[in-house]
Amino acid sequence: MLNSTGELEFSNEDNPEIISQLASLALCGGKSSAGVPEKTGYPDSVYVMAANIFQGIRIEKSAQKVLIKYGNEPLRSLSESEDQSFRRLSYELAFSALKYIVYIFFFMCPDHLSSLIIVMLYDFQDRKFQTRVLSDNEESISEVQEVENLLNSFKIKLAAALARCRIKHDALSIYHILPETVRKQELRASTLPLYAWINTCKISPEEVYNNLKRRGYHKVKSVLHVDDKVFAVDQHCYDVLIFPSHLQNDLINIDLFKDYKLIFQDKSRSLAVHSVKALLNMDDDILMVNTGSWYTVAHMSVLTNNNTSKVFVCGVQSQAKDPDLKTLFTKMGCKNIEILHDLFINIESKDHRLQKVKVILLLPRCSGLGVSNPVEFILNEHEDTEFLKDHSQGGISEDKLHILAQQQYEQLTHAMKFTKAQAVVYCTCSVYPEENEAVVKKALEFQDLGNKVQPYRLSPPVLPLCSLKEIQLSTDKFFRVEPSEITNGCFISILTRERDPSETVSVKDVLARAAAKGLLEGIELGKSSKREKKKKKSKTSLTKAATTDNGIQMKIAEFLNRETKASANLSETLTKPPLPQKNTAQVGASSQTRKPNKLAPNPTVPTFMKSTCPSRPRERQAHLMRPRPEDRMVALKPIEIVLPPVFMPFSSPQGIRSQMPAQHFYCHWVAPKALVPTSLPTPSLARKGEKPKDDTPSSLLRPPRPWL
């Protein structure tokens, strides 16, 4: 049934002794990858499912280069298992076959069995051509049994052919035949820890910590190179826990994961939803695009559980999935998710359902070469199996990269057309600038500026930068995580609208927002004070006074001149209390009309009066501007601390100001302090309507004149 060609070309005429020596070389050094334990084989159903997966991800070649022909129909399986571990084994086997076999083995075989032979041949050499251990209760599949028998019959020759290939490529093992980029990727995947986020709708972080400690887990700062049962809290996301990779089989069997209290997911998705959370207000809605895994949607819902926000998810074309999704979200405690059965590119920016959407999370399909373990990423994020093709070769063609970048650009520009949205979070797991920085910069450069809304701008990361390297990588306002032994690669860009310069936020609005968020607990916000009302009236009256007729101003000026000339003597002028002011408009008018009279000569007014009169209107205004305790709002008490020091003495009307002598009011710029009397009435008492004493000698009211 099996005939060989290419690298595996051999015949029955080969020297048995040479074949035996080459086979021994293959059997002693055929380990495919470092750190992988010895295997005994898989169940028949795993081989069939792996063959069907391989059929879908195999690399197409031109007709001239085709050496293996594949059938068009998948192999029939006895049962399609939905068990996660079963699917993981099948994907790992198919992906390994895609990486290794394409470089080494080529067969001439029946088309419908080509994929099955390739995946079983890889597993056969990975077991060093040892016989598979079968389970007693396992149901066998005829096609699998037939291929296995044929491979066993060619065991020695297959091992010899493999040894020839290793010698030809000067490789210690089949693992060293792979490209260097693929080998580095496998090395990172072997140490990559597990990330799981806490479903705070069902359990608190403290309860999770206590539950894990009862099971023998210990909380540490880093899980790298630790073989014990430990866990750590992620530095970027407070609700994400990190576990060593060797604990996966133990963790998936505990109740925390079975009851959806802990959910495995790649860290890049958690970084994306936490970036959105940092941009939200209490009642803002979110639109998620190309989410992949429903766990990402659930995580976004859990983070906004205490808000009134809704999480809209677009792209679910099949309504038949709705009952299953609702059941999943109900089990996870998510209540604010709404599914849209439309492709994102077809949703209009003025859709009535999305009028409260303020943040759009865009997770476009990308090459994903920042992911070290693509199998786990596919299982957790439900990415297309096409994702594995690029990873098997360690790179992507320029044509495919251009197509992906164009799709990402179209989705990003469409997201920027939603006029109600205020921010867009763009996240990929790619390492190519063509899919990251280039897409964002191009979208910002060619954004539509015809709308009345403000344009978008690039904003700095909203996530904490926990190391010097992260700070250096984020100097251009992009958040980057390079692929490493502790995490997959990630790229996040935050686009926010520029602030409208015409928008002004009043103090009342700020206080209202603070009160709504509970920041002013115990502080009463009263009505606007009398002082504020007077200020408003003053501003209104001053504006009106500036626009009055010149004739009216002249009449007012004449009236004030007559009043000034009518002052017979200085004592009456000094002791006469100021007229009660009905409103601040009169003060404003008098201050404006008395300025021209300062230079006008008046023989009836003494010389010192000419020098001191201009200061009286300003002093009166200072008294009027003096704050009153009964009019102050309780919420504005702290503002006294930040006022300029010159206003501090006036905070108490009956204190220091009441003790200042009257002469200081008129002659503080000339008279020495020793000559100032201390028993004179104060201007503050006169303003309160107190009558001055009539028996006060007029000589005491006359200030000293040292210049005479």
Backbone angles phi, psi at 433, to 5 degrees: -60, -25
pLDDT confidence of residue 503: 58
Burial (Cβ within 10 Å: 0-12, 13-18, ≥19) of residue 472 = exposed
Among 334, 429, 490, 667, which one carries the catalytic annotation?
429
Burial (Cβ within 10 Å: 0-12, 13-18, ≥19) of residue 332 = buried
Strand-pair partners of 423: 359, 496
Rounded Cα distance, 127 and 75, in Å: 24
Rounded Cα distance, 239 and 241, in Å: 7
134 in Cβ contact with 152 (< 8 Å): no
Q: Is 165 a catalytic residue?
A: no
pLDDT confidence of residue 699: 43
Rounded Cα distance, 344 and 1, in Å: 50
Rounded Cα distance, 302 and 305, in Å: 5
pLDDT confidence of residue 541: 55
**DSSP summary character for residue 63:** T
Q: How many CB atoms lie within 10 A of CB 157?
A: 19
- Which parts of the chain have pLDDT scores under 50? 1-13, 29-36, 102-105, 568-571, 573-624, 629-631, 647-700, 706-708
pLDDT confidence of residue 559: 67
Query: Which helix H or strand E contains 423, and what residues bound it?
Result: strand 423-428
Tens of pLDDT, residues 145-156? 988 988 888 888
pLDDT confidence of residue 251: 92
Query: Which helix H or strand E contains 297, and what residues bound it?
Result: helix 294-303
Rounded Cα distance, 136 and 117, in Å: 24
Give the DSSP letter string of 493-548.
Answer: EEEEEPPPTT----HHHHHHHHHHTTTTTT----PPPHHHHHHHHHHHHHHHHHTS
pLDDT confidence of residue 113: 84
339 in Cβ contact with 313 (< 8 Å): yes
Q: How many CB atoms lie within 10 A of CB 393?
A: 16
Q: Are strands 357-362 and 423-428 parallel, antiparallel or unpaired?
A: parallel
Rounded Cα distance, 650 and 626, in Å: 6
Strand extents, DSSP E, 30-111: 107-108
pLDDT confidence of residue 666: 42
**What token pair was written down for 19?**
């074949």
**DSSP summary character for residue 320:** G
